[in-house]
Amino acid sequence: MMATIAFIGLGNMGAPMASNLLEAGHNIRAFDLSQEALAQLANKGATAAHSAQAAVADTDIIISMLPAGKHVQDLYISGDTPLFDHIKKGALVIDSSTIDAETARTVAQAGAERGIHCIDAPVSGGVGGAVAGTLAFMVGANDEQFSRAQPILSCMGKNIFHAGASGAGQVAKACNNMLLSILMTGTCEALNMGVKNGLDPSVLSEIMKQSSGNNWALQVYNPYPGVMETAPASNHYQGGFQVDLMYKDLGLAMEMSQLSASPIPMGSQARALFTQHKAKGNGSLDFSSVMQLYQDQ
C-alpha cells in the first residue's frame, strides 16, 4: 500500500533511504536544513517541504534520520516549535537516528501522551547498505507498532528485527557496534602481526577466514589495503563508516555500560584505540583505517 511519508534528515544515510522509499512508489515529503540535499531528492520525485512542520502536516508516517539524541529531542519535544504539536494523532513516527536509549524512550513517551506512536529503529549496514536497500533495522516498539512499520522498513532494508520494547533498538545497536569495534581492532592487530613476521596479508586473511578466527571484517570488510577490492581499505579508507561515527557509537555504549553496571573491558579498550586514531585527525576516514594505528602511520 502506497503511503505519504514525511522524511526528515537527508544526510549520507537519510538521502538514499528516502530514495528507496520513492522507488517503492511512496510519496515523500522531505525536509533537510541543506537545500542541496532537498533539491537532489526533489529531482527524484520527492516534494521538498519548506519546514519540518510543513513536511509532517496531515501525514500518517514520519521518518527521521538525525545525527544525535539532542537533535531528536529538540525536533520532537523541546525545540521552539516541537514537531509533536504538528503531527496528527495516530501517526507513526519512526526514528532511525542512532541515539541513547533513554532519549528514545523519552521521545516515545512524549509521543504516546499525545496519541502518537513513536518507535526507535536504528540501522546497521552503512551508506552502502542504505543505497542498496539492504540495511538491518533494530526496532524498539510494541507488536502493533512493529507490524505497522515493517512494510515501510522493508523498502529500505532486508533484515528487520523486533528487538523489544521502546529503546530496545538503540540497546541492540550499541551492543552490535561495540562488538564490531572489538572485532575490527582485533583483526587489524592479527593482520599487522602476521605481516610484520613475513606473511602475505591476503594469505593470512584466507587462513583466518577458513579457521576459528573468522569474522565479518575478514569476510566482507578486510582492513588491509589491497586484500579486498571492494573494501574501503583498498580505496584509501574513503566511504564506508566513519571513525567519527564509531567514536560516537562507542560513547553511547560507554554510557549504557555505566548506567547498567555492565563490565566492558574490551569495549573500553577499543574505544581508547578509536579515540587515539581520531585524535590524529582521522575522523573522516572509514573505521577500518584503525589499521594505520597499528602500522604506526
Same domain, 41 and 158: yes
For 36-69, b where at least 16 C-beta lie within 10 A, e where not — what string?
A: ebbebbeeeebbbbeebbebbeebebbbbbbebb
pLDDT for residue 126: 85
**Residue type, position 92, single letter:** L
Regions of the chain with pLDDT less than 50:
none
State the DSSP H helix or E strand holding residue 281, giving kind and residue range, or none if neither. none
Out of 164, 198, 221, pick the residue that ends a domain: 164
Tell me the pLDDT tens digit for each residue of 213-269: 999 999 999 999 999 999 999 999 998 899 999 999 999 999 999 999 999 999 999
* Domain count along the chain: 2
Identified catalytic residue from 88, 89, 158, 173? 173
pLDDT for residue 2: 87
Same domain, 108 and 57: yes
Same domain, 9 and 32: yes
CATH number of the domain bearing residue 254: 1.10.1040.10
Q: Do 174 and 252 contact (CB within 8 A), yes or no?
A: yes
Whole-prediction pTM:
0.94
pLDDT for residue 127: 85
pLDDT for residue 269: 98
Which set of grid coordinates corresponds to residue 277?
586514531
Which set of grid coordinates corresponds to residue 162?
523486533
Q: Do 209 and 280 contact (CB within 8 A), yes or no?
A: no
Tell me the pLDDT tens digit for each residue of 46-76: 999 999 999 999 999 999 999 999 999 999 9
Q: Is 173 a catalytic residue?
A: yes
CATH number of the domain bearing residue 160: 3.40.50.720
Out of 164, 187, 209, pick the residue that ends a domain: 164
Q: What is the dihedral of CA 4, 7, 12, 17, to 10 degrees?
A: -30
Full residue range of the structural domain in which residue 79 is found = 4-164
